Chain A
Amino acid sequence: MRAYLLALIVVASCAPLRSGTETAAPGPAAQSAGLAAIDPLIETLWRDAKVTPAPPADDGAFLRRVSLDLIGRVPTLGETKALLADAGADRRARAVDRLLGSHEFAEHWGDLYADLLFGQERKAAKLERQYDPQSWLVKAFEDNRRYDEIARELITATGDLRSNGAVGFITARARGGGGPEAVTGAAARIFLGLQIQCAQCHDHPYDKRWKQEDFYGLVAYFARTKPKNEKITGDLGEMSMAMDAEMEAATPKKKKAKAMKTFVLVDVKRGEARMHRPHSEEDELVSPRFLGHDVAPRGEETRRQALARAILGSDLFAKSMVSRTWAQLFGAGLVEPWDDLGGENDARHPGLLVALARDFVASGYDIKRLLRTIVLSTAYARSSAGTEAGVTAFAQAGVRPLSPEQLFRSLVAATGAEEMGKRRRDPERTEKRLLQAFREYQFVFGDDEMAEANRFDGSVPQSLLLMNGELTNGGTKGDEGGVLGQVLAASADPAARIDDLYLAAYSRRPTAQERAPLVEYVKSQRNGRAAYEDVFFALVTSTEAITNH
C-alpha cells in the first residue's frame, strides 16, 4: 500500500568486484558513547536468563541485518565486499552512520511508521493512496526531528491533509472505522505502549488496573475532534493530482472522474465521550482523564493539546518508543508484546528498557541516536546460528520474515534486476514492470501491523510467486547489467563465482561443504551460464535469502 518510488532503489552493485579480507569484529574504540552503559545491562540479562550468548555475527551477517533493519533491503554485492575489505576498527560504526544518513533510511522508516500510525483498514489505505501523508513521516526521519515534537504534532495536528501530513494519523484512524475510540486505542498503544483499548467494551479482562472509564477518559480528549470530508473547490493540490495519475496508470479501468475530496481535521467546541456499559440502557458521558490523573485543558489549550502534554510527561512515552524500536530491531520486545507496558512507573519494567528510555530523553529524543545505540550493542551483534534457546534473551539473533517491501527491494538489490532490465529495454518500461512486480509482492506477501509480524509464516501463493515469478526468474539471468552477469565476467573460476553468488544472496561466503556440491553441479552441466542461473535462483528464493537473521 505504501507508495515507494522505484528510483529510490539504489543499486550500488556496480562497485568493483574484488575479494575482501575478513578481519575480526571491531573493538571498543568503535563504540558510541551511549553504548558503554547498555552492554553490561545486556550481559546481566543473559546471566539472569542463564543463557550462553551465541558467538558474534561476522561482518557480512551484521551488515545484512543492519541494512534490512535500517534501509529495508539487503546490501548489494559491492557494499558487502566493501565492508569485508575494510580493516578499520570502527568499520561497523561507519557503516551504520552511512546507512542512517541515507535517504533510503528515511524512506524505510517512514514506511514502517505509516503502517504503524495509519493502520490497515481499507478506508485508511485509500486515504493514504490519495493524499500520501507518508511523505510527512519520511521528511521527519530525513531531518531526524525530535520524537517528542513528531508525537506532539501527530496528536494535535489540525488542518487540511493535503498540506499537513501530520493530520493523517487521526484522520486515517477515525476514517478506518471506530471513531474516537479507534483513535484512542491507536494513540495509547503507539505513544504509551498500553493495550487499554481492551477496556472499550468492559473493564480490562486481564489487567485489573484498567477500567472502562479509564479508556473513555482518554476517548474524551478526542471527542471534540472531527475529520471533515470536504469537497475541493478551486485548484486541486498538485501532489494528489500526481498520485492520481499514478493510480490511473496502474489501474486503468477502475477510476472514474469523481469530485476530489480532502480531509480537514478541526477541533470543535462541543462533543463528549459516550460510554456504554455492558447491560446498561443509557450511555454515560465521561470527562477527560489521563490514566487516573486529572489533566484538563489549561487556558486556550484544546483537549488534544492537553493530552499531548500528559503523554509527553509520562514515563511511558519514551519507554514505549524504546520498547517498540527494540522489538522492530530484534523481532521480539524487552517487554512482550512491546505495546503491553501495563502502566506508568511500573517497577517491573526491565532495567535495560529504563536505561535506554532515560538515555533517549537525555539525548533530546534523538531517534537516530537510539537506533545507533541499539544496533551497535553487543546483543544486536549476535549470530543467528544455534538452537534458538538464546533468542528470547537476545543472546542469539532470531530468524524473521521480511516485509513485502523489504523482500522486493532485497531481491532487486541482490540480483541487479533493475539495471539488467534497463540495459535490455527502455528504462521507463523497466520501471513500470518493476512497479507492477512490486504491487504483486505487496499483494501476495500481505502487510500486517508490526505487532502481528511475528505470526506471519509464509503462504503457498508466496512460494509460487518466488518459484515461478518474473523477478526471481528474470533477475537471476546472466544478462548484462545483472549481478550474475558481473560475477561471470569477473572470474572464470567456478569456486570464486559461487562465492560471489553467496555474497550477493546471503552477504556471506559458502562453507567448503556448501561450495562443493554447487561447484560440482555447474561443472556437470553442459550449459554453464544456465547452470549458474539455476544456482543463483535456488539461493535467492531460499529461506536464508528471504529472511532477516
Chain B
Amino acid sequence: MSTVTIDTFVNGQRVTRQVAPRMTLAEFLRDDLGLTGTKVSCEMQVCGACTVLIDDMPVSACTYLAADADSRRITTVEGLAHGDELHPIQAAFVENFAIQCGFCTPGFVMMTAALLAENPAPTAEEVAEYMDGNICRCTGYKPILSAVLDAAERLRGTE
C-alpha cells in the first residue's frame, strides 16, 4: 500500500511525515508524535474524547484520516497552555471542579475552545447544545457547564 506525505502545523510547529492512508489523526498524534493528551474512546464520533481542532474547527481525531490534515493547522490540548501557565479554559475547568477521572476532559476543553472562538458569549442553553456530543461519566454535566461559562467570561476579560 502507498503512503501519503503530509505537511502540517501541530500546535504551531511544522511537522512533515509519510503516513499510511489508513492512519487516523488520533494514531498520528498519539503514536507518532507522542501527544497522548488526545484520548480515544468510542471511535464513532459520539463521545468527543478525541476532539482536536483542524483550522479552528472541531473534529473527531478517531475518525479523521491523518492524510486529510495535510496543509492544515492542528491544535491539540497540549497546544493550549503557555509553558506552566494554564490556558483560561483549563484553569476554569480546574477551578470549577469540572474534572473527575479526566479522560473526557481534553475533549471538553477543545470543544470549549471551538465554541468560544465562534461564540464568545454563549448562553447556558447554547453551551449544552454544543456539548451534546461529548460524554462524561463522572461529574454530571453541571460543573462542566459552569466551567465553560466561566471560561467564556475569563476570555472576554483578557481581550
Chain B associates with chain A:
no
* Chain A residues close to B by CB (< 8 Å): none
* Chain B residues close to A by CB (< 8 Å): none
